[in-house]
Structures are given as structure tokens and as C-alpha cells.
């Protein structure tokens, strides 16, 4: 239920869609004072978000939360990589692996796998589409890695998860991390704060490894004419903040002073499965 509601909510309330709906309401009720106020508000917000670096600065805050590590532990027990770098729908539509703006999750996974040849490798991602029709990202990645000559048999593929919380739950069921083990968590820099909070607050202590940035990390307050770029950054940032709030309210991110030693559950009864192809 949580997964479906979150998808539907974001379809309606992502910034551009929400502003377009407000403008439509304002135009439909333009003859009323209420309608004109709604249209004026929506238009003002549209221009502000489009030309001011609001999204950029929000992303800077997220990406600066955990700096890129300059030194790494001498030894680690495992590396867990969150999905989101492979466009499954496009991959299966064109019979060719398609990477997106999060490709650094994969390239850093390959680099670290060579730096830590004895560490367990876990890639976690299933089909995150609402109608479950895009195909499993773990299967698409398996094809990609074989195409570039990487030994995919090293990787434990978790293919049932649909969001970050389920990444954690199903992966935990597969590898059974033990207290005192060192695990690196690889995901995009903007996604690291939410991901680390989910893992750590549910009893799986991970070391953050941000891979891929959308900003230079410097705050700015000067207008920028790149409207599409500004809205893209705003959409990514707002989605993360909404996710943090939603996960906190539903206790997928738990207070750190609670006993979080019990195995977390999900709203999907099917167990996780592993493939080490």
C-alpha cells in the first residue's frame, strides 16, 4: 500500500505537475477572486522555481551532508549498491543496456569491487514501476556487466525491492549482516542522507559512499536562466525531502534511541530471492 500511494502521490504533487494543476484551477475559476489568486500564486512560484537556484541549493544541502570519502577503510566486509542507475524499461525496449544520470553508482561499484576483492557485493533493485511492467533492474545490470566483461558471479542480486526501504529489508534477509561488520553503501550523493538513515536506524550500520553529484556543492543566490535544469534539480531535491518526511512518519526511518534490532518488515509478503549469475 505504501509503495502504490507514494507513486501516485508523486505523480500529482511533483513541482511542475502541481503548479500546472494550480494554473488550470486558476484559469477555470478566473472570474472569481479565488481563481485569480490561485493563478497569480502558481505563476509566481513557476517563475521563482524556474529562474532562482532553489533546487540547486536544496541539492547542495543533501549532497554536502556526507562528503565524498578521501580515505577508505583498509578492509570491508561488503558493498551494497542501490539501484536506480539502469533504465530497465528502455533496456528491454531496445535490447541494449541503458544507463541514466545515476550511472556513477555502477562505475564506483566496479572500482570498489577491484579495490576490495574479498568483499561481498550486493546490488539491490527490482521493478520500481507502479504497474510492475518495466522489468527488473538487477537483471538488466547483469546483462550490462557481462557485456563489459565484469564477473557478475561475484554479485548477489536482490531483485524484489521497489524502493529504498525494501532495498534494505530484502538485502538484509539475503546477507544477514552481523554486528561489527563494515559495509559500504553506494548511491547518489543526493540520496545518501535518506538511504543511510533507513539502513542505520533499522539495525544495519553502513558507511556512506556517495557516487555521482548534480551540483558543485556551492550555494548560490544568483538567478540562472536554465529553467529546465533548475526544475530538474528542484524535482530531485523535493522528492528526497518528501521521502525523508514520509519515511520518518511511517517509521521506515526510526528514531535512533529505539531498539531497532528486530528484522524490519515490508508491505509485500513475497520473500526476497537471490541470483548469483
How many Cα atoms sit within 13 Å of 245 on the Cβ side?
7
Say if residue 36 is in the same domain as residue 109. Answer: no
56 within some domain: yes
Q: What is the mean pLDDT of residues 68-84?
A: 93
Summarised one tens digit per residue, pLDDT across range 109-158 is 999 999 999 999 999 998 877 676 678 898 889 989 999 999 999 999 99
When the pLDDT of each residue in the chain is averaged and rounded to a whole number, the result is: 90
In-domain check, residue 220? no
CATH number at residue 126: 3.40.50.620
**Length reported for the chain:** 277
Asked whether residue 131 is domain-assigned, the answer is: yes
Q: Is residue 95 located within the same domain as residue 117?
A: yes
Same domain, 124 and 160: yes
Do 90 and 139 share a domain, yes or no?
yes
- Whether 11 and 112 share a structural domain: no
Residue-range definition of the domain harbouring residue 14 = 2-62+226-249
Residue 82, classed as helix, strand or coil, is strand
With bands split at pLDDT 50, 70 and 90, how would you rate the model's confidence at 275? very low
Residue-wise DSSP of 142-166: HHHHHHTT--GGGEEEE----SHHH
Supply the pLDDT for residue 12: 85
Same domain, 110 and 38: no
Question: Same structural domain for residues 236 and 141?
Answer: no
Find, among 95, 77, 268, the residue nearest to 185 by Cα: 77
In a domain, 221, yes or no: no
Same domain? For 183 and 237 the reply is no
**107 and 166 fall within a common domain:** yes
The C-alpha atoms of residue 187 and residue 132 are separated, in whole angstroms, by: 23
79 and 36 share one domain: no
Asked if residue 219 belongs to a domain, the reply is: no
Residue 92's pLDDT band, with cuts at 50, 70 and 90, is confident
Question: Same structural domain for residues 27 and 121?
Answer: no
What's residue 78's pLDDT?
A: 97
Q: So what's the pLDDT on residue 10? A: 82
Give the pLDDT score at 259. Answer: 55
The pLDDT of residue 255 is 86
Number of domains observed in the structure of the chain: 2
In a domain, 263, yes or no: yes
Q: Are residues 128 and 194 in the same domain?
A: yes
pLDDT interval class at 6 (50, 70, 90): confident
Amino acid at each position: 500500500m505504501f509503495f502504490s500511494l507514494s507513486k501516485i502521490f508523486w505523480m500529482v504533487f511533483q513541482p511542475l505537475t502541481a503548479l500546472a494543476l494550480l494554473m488550470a484551477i486558476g484559469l477555470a475559476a478566473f472570474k472569481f477572486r479565488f481563481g485569480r489568486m490561485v493563478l497569480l500564486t502558481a505563476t509566481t512560484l513557476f517563475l521563482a522555481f524556474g529562474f532562482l537556484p532553489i533546487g540547486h541549493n536544496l541539492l547542495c544541502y543533501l549532497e554536502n551532508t556526507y562528503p565524498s570519502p578521501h580515505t577508505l577503510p583498509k578492509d570491508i566486509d561488503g558493498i551494497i549498491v542501490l539501484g536506480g542507475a539502469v533504465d530497465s524499461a528502455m533496456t528491454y525496449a531496445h535490447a541494449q543496456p541503458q544507463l541514466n544520470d545515476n550511472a556513477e553508482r555502477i562505475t564506483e561499484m566496479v572500482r570498489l569491487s577491484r579495490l576490495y576483492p574479498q568483499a561481498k557485493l550486493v546490488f539491490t533493485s527490482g521493478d520500481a514501476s507502479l504497474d510492475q511492467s518495466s522489468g527488473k533492474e538487477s537483471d538488466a545490470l547483469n546483462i550490462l556487466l557481462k557485456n563489459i566483461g565484469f564477473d557478475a558471479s561475484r554479485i548477489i542480486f536482490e531483485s524484489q525491492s521497489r524502493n529504498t526501504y525494501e532495498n534494505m529489508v530484502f538485502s538484509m534477509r539475503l546477507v544477514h549482516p552481523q554486528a561489527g561488520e563494515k559495509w559500504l553503501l553506494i548511491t547518489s550523493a543526493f540520496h545518501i542522507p535518506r538511504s543511510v538513515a533507513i539502513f542505520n536506524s533499522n539495525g544495519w550500520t553502513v558507511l556512506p559512499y556517495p557516487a555521482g553529484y548534480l551540483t558543485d556543492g556551492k550555494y548560490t543566490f544568483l538567478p540562472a536562466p536554465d529553467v529546465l535544469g533548475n526544475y530538474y534539480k528542484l524535482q530531485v531535491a523535493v522528492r528526497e525531502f518528501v521521502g525523508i518526511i514520509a519515511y520518518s512518519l511511517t517509521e521506515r526511518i526510526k528514531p535512533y534511541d529505539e531498539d531497532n534490532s528486530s528484522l524490519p518488515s515490508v508491505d509485500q509478503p513475497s520473500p526476497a530471492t537471490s541470483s548469483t549469475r
